């Protein structure tokens, strides 16, 4: 039983059918046409239609940790055309999951333990084509392609505008890379994935705890522990190079990074 006779809760470890649990979930009661967009260390992202507004959104589901709440806090304070727009968030006691056979909802946690809850983040829905895919498509053409240079410059300017705004809020993104840069329904560049965002004004103790394992290695600045917004500027420089020129291998990217430093 999930509930003891004295009214306290036990830990729950079960797989509950979608139909039996739908009334307990805001996600499955307020949204339909749910479709998986991607999954990874960042959590799981779905496309879903909000029934009341008849409009599609991206819903990101992650563990309800302090780190996840930090991402939401940062997003809620950012309002810029080149940053993925944040709308809302809420907590649920289970993570929504889908499989090919049926809609299922699986959960394993103590309902009274907030650390075991899941955070649902409602955001602007972007195109599934990331800047990483755009670069790969452009790499099939000659690097001297004039159209690529023009489009690359326009994209770079929008990225810089978004990063400049992030820094104006005293924040550091820390994970800028083509895979985290998308295109909105308005065709504009959208910087996303703020899972590693940090405040530039952290005290000295927290700054010393920053690790060289945080971020994506091939886009990381040479600063190892104590650093500032320049780590984002470093990543933007590498991205701009990729926008203009074909880098066929990881070794080439590493060489550019070495020369850039």
Q: Which residues are annotated as a binding site for ATP?
A: 60
Yes or no: say if 241 and 256 are a contact pair by the CB < 8 Å rule: yes
- The catalytic residue among 54, 88, 175, 203 is 175
Please say if 175 is a catalytic residue: yes
CA distance 166 to 188: 17
Residues 6 or more apart whose Cβ sits within 8 Å of residue 93: 12, 24, 107, 109, 111, 116, 117, 118
Three-state SS for 156-209 is HHHHHHHHHHHHHCCEECCCCCHHHEEEECCCCEEECCCCCCEECCCCHHHHHC
105, HSE (Cβ side, Cα atoms, 13 Å): 21
Q: Could you give the residue numbers annotated as active site?
A: 175
């Amino acid at each position: 039983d999930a509930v003891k006779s004295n009214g306290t809760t036990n830990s729950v470890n079960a797989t509950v059918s979608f139909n039996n649990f739908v009334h307990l979930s805001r996600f499955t009661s307020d949204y339909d046409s749910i479709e998986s967009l991607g999954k990874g260390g960042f959590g799981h992202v779905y496309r879903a239609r909000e029934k009341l507004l008849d409009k599609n959104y991206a819903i990101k589901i992650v563990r309800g940790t302090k780190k996840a709440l930090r991402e939401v806090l940062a997003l809620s304070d950012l309002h810029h055309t080149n940053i993925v727009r944040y709308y809302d968030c809420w907590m649920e006691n289970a993570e929504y999951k889908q499989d090919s056979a049926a809609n299922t909802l699986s959960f394993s946690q103590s309902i009274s333990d907030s650390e075991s809850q899941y955070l649902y983040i409602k955001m602007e829905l972007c195109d599934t084509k990331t800047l990483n895919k755009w670069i790969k498509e452009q790499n099939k053409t000659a690097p001297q392609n004039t159209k690529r240079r023009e489009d690359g410059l326009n994209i770079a300017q929008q990225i810089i505008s978004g990063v400049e705004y992030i820094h104006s809020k005293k924040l550091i993104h820390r994970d800028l890379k083509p895979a985290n840069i998308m295109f909105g329904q308005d065709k504009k560049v959208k910087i996303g994935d703020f899972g590693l965002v940090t405040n530039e004004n952290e005290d000295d103790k927290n700054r010393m705890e920053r690790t060289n394992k945080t971020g994506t290695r091939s886009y990381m600045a040479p600063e190892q522990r104590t650093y500032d917004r320049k780590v984002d500027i470093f990543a933007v420089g590498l991205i701009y190079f990729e926008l203009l020129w074909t880098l066929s291998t990881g070794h080439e990217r590493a060489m550019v990074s070495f020369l850039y430093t």
